[in-house]
């Protein structure tokens, strides 16, 4: 009996040690976030073991685990019709909200899910529930794109997928089929999906052949640049779940099919050091000492290496491509973008990407709403149902949908 008690105590202590990580008291429901983070870390470690044994790529294994526990079939309710189909050979899940007798044509949002360009799906319950809520509360048609993921494809294939699906949807006959108002279509996405939405919005704003333009873009804690991994938010939230800095840099490397040996050098900005000429012209576009308010910069110092590793940019020139890093786009491109909503979270390495983009857009004459949540963390908006329900998840989702209701 005594030995059983000792073993049980030891197991509890080990579990507590694994789960516990130091978190700021201001983050929403810290213990629940620790449990969520521990679950995700556990899944990552299992997928890494599978990769080590040569059974599968670690990202394929990790996404398989995610889909096993979260995939949801296209189930319609009395209020929202849900169907799986494809737009120009790209899989999509379409959510059709209830019609309004006084509005024969509906508004619409093209939604792009997050997951580091490698994980997630339009068909997992988190995004299914989000898009169902959007369709019902906005009386809208939501098109959630099931774009291809790393390691099956790499940059810029993900952009091509969302471009093809969105262009197909914007055809007059397709909009008519879904009873959508051509002048009330927006694009949106979270995290890596926010990256793809921002890139596509820039691309469409320059495309003279498109008859139907996007009315709004709504970006949820978007990832927008890979030149500086030492902005104040990267320094402040270096180990904060669910996307610490090391993991974010790794996602970037995987997106470009790059060399993992570069990760540590990129973490200290060796890829954009002063001797890397290719990056010189772009540094001013994300100079956070001028783009961020003092309440954000605090006492943080820029990390700018005098000499670095020029080989990184030579082997991964995509790091300097505005299609992967919308924050570094030319001012002439930004000034043609539609009305914009950007949601940021205090406890997120990507916080400053969103704030700097909002500043650059405002300087270009774009109407921007920056919606910041002091207790938010990366990914929080999709965590709204048990057992991963967070109060900040509901508040961010409600604020996001409210903005769409008022501006789309």
Question: Would 5 be classed as within a structural domain?
Answer: yes
Question: Would 270 be classed as within a structural domain?
Answer: no
pLDDT of amino acid 7 = 52
**In the annotation, is 113 catalytic?**
no
**Mean pLDDT on 98-105:** 86
pLDDT of amino acid 93 = 98
- How far is it, in rounded angstroms, from Cα 226 to Cα 267? 10
**Mean pLDDT on 167-186:** 97
Structure tokens that stand for 276 in this block: 């890397």
- How far is it, in rounded angstroms, from Cα 377 to Cα 351? 9
Question: Would 269 be classed as within a structural domain?
Answer: no
Residue tagged active-site, from 191, 201, 273, 324: 191
- Whether 208 has a pLDDT exceeding 80, the answer reads yes
150 Cβ neighbours under 8 A, 6+ residues apart: 59, 116, 117, 118, 254, 255, 257
- Could you count the other beta carbons within 10 Å of the beta carbon of residue 177? 11
Same domain, 106 and 175: yes
pLDDT of amino acid 281 = 81
Question: Would 236 be classed as within a structural domain?
Answer: no
Question: Would 339 be classed as within a structural domain?
Answer: yes
- Could you count the other beta carbons within 10 Å of the beta carbon of residue 86? 11
Q: Domain end: 10, 40, 67, which one?
A: 67
pLDDT of amino acid 9 = 53
- Whether 270 has a pLDDT exceeding 70, the answer reads yes
Tell me 56's DSSP state: S
Same domain, 88 and 187: yes
- Whether 328 has a pLDDT exceeding 60, the answer reads yes
**Mean pLDDT on 276-280:** 86
We report the CATH number of the domain holding residue 186 as 3.40.50.1820
Rounded to a whole number of angstroms, the CA Rg of the chain reads 21
From the list 85, 82, 76, the residue with the least C-alpha distance to 146 is 85
Same domain, 135 and 164: yes
How far, in Å, are 25, 185, 242, 336 from residue 372 at the CA level?
17, 24, 18, 24
Same domain, 332 and 399: yes
Peptide bond into 387 cis (omega under 30): yes
Residue tagged active-site, from 113, 271, 347, 378: 378
Structure tokens that stand for 387 in this block: 């057992």
Residue tagged active-site, from 228, 348, 352, 353: 348
Q: Domain end: 67, 84, 101, which one?
A: 67
From the list 235, 247, 21, the residue with the least C-alpha distance to 115 is 247
CA angle 128, 373, 40 (to 5 degrees): 50
Same domain, 81 and 48: no
pLDDT of amino acid 284 = 82
378 Cβ neighbours under 8 A, 6+ residues apart: 191, 221, 240, 241, 242, 243, 345, 347, 348, 349, 350
**Domain containing 40: what range?**
1-67
Question: Would 9 be classed as within a structural domain?
Answer: yes
Instruction: Give percent of the chain above pLDDT 90.
Output: 86
Same domain, 133 and 9: no
**In the annotation, is 348 catalytic?**
yes
Q: How many domains does the chain have?
A: 2
Q: Tell me: the pLDDT tens digits for 279-304?
A: 888 888 899 999 999 999 999 999 99
- Spatial contact of 366 and 339, defined as CB atoms under 8 Å apart: yes
Same domain, 58 and 149: no
Backbone angles phi, psi at 82, to 5 degrees: -120, 125
**Mean pLDDT on 325-349:** 97
**In the annotation, is 330 catalytic?**
no
- Whether 306 has a pLDDT exceeding 60, the answer reads yes
- Whether 8 has a pLDDT exceeding 60, the answer reads no
- Whether 404 has a pLDDT exceeding 60, the answer reads yes
- Could you count the other beta carbons within 10 Å of the beta carbon of residue 52? 9
Structure tokens that stand for 299 in this block: 């006492």
How far, in Å, are 4, 12, 305 from residue 17 at the CA level?
20, 9, 36
Q: Where are the beta strands (DSSP E) in 225-354?
A: 339-347
Same domain, 93 and 121: yes
Same domain, 139 and 187: yes
pLDDT of amino acid 4 = 64
How does residue 210 score in pLDDT terms, banded at 50, 70 and 90?
confident
Same domain, 33 and 90: no
Structure tokens that stand for 96 in this block: 């059709």
pLDDT of amino acid 15 = 63
How does residue 277 score in pLDDT terms, banded at 50, 70 and 90?
confident
């Amino acid at each position: 009996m005594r030995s059983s008690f000792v073993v049980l105590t030891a197991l509890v202590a080990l579990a507590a040690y694994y789960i516990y990580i130091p978190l700021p008291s201001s983050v929403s429901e810290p213990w629940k976030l620790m449990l969520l983070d521990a679950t995700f870390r556990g899944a990552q470690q299992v997928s890494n073991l599978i990769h080590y044994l040569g059974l599968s790529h670690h990202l394929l294994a990790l996404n398989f685990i995610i889909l096993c526990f979260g995939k949801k079939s296209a189930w319609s309710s009395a209020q929202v019709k849900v169907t799986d189909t494809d737009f120009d050979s790209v899989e999509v899940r379409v959510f059709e909200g209830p019609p309004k007798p006084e509005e024969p044509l509906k508004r619409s949002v093209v939604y792009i899910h997050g997951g580091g360009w490698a994980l997630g799906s339009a068909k997992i319950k988190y995004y299914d529930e989000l898009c169902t809520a959007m369709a019902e509360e906005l009386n809208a048609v939501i098109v959630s794109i099931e774009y291809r993921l790393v390691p099956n494809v790499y940059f810029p294939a993900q952009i091509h997928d969302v471009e093809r699906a969105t262009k197909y949807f914007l055809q007059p006959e397709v909009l008519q089929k879904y009873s959508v108002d051509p002048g009330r279509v927006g694009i949106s996405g979270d995290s890596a999906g926010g990256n793809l939405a921002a890139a596509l919005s820039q691309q469409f704003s320059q495309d003279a052949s498109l008859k139907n333009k996007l009315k709004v873009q709504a970006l949820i804690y978007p990832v927008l640049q890979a030149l500086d991994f030492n902005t104040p938010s990267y320094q402040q939230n270096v180990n904060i779940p669910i996307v610490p800095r090391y993991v974010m840099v790794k996602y970037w490397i995987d997106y470009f099919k790059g060399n993992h040996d570069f990760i540590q050098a990129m973490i200290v900005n060796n890829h954009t050091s002063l001797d890397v000429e290719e990056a010189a012209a772009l540094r001013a576009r994300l100079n956070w000492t001028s783009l961020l308010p003092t309440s954000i910069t605090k006492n943080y110092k820029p990390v700018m290496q005098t000499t670095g590793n020029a080989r990184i940019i030579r082997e991964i020139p995509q790091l300097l491509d505005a299609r992967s890093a919308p924050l570094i786009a030319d001012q002439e491109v930004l000034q043609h973008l539609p009305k914009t909503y950007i949601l940021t979270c205090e406890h997120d390495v990507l916080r400053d990407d969103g704030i700097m983009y909002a500043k650059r857009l405002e300087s270009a004459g774009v109407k921007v709403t920056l919606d910041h949540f002091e207790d938010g963390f990366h990914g929080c908006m999709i965590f709204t149902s048990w057992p991963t329900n967070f109060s900040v998840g509901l508040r961010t989702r409600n604020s996001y949908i409210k903005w769409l209701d008022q501006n789309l």
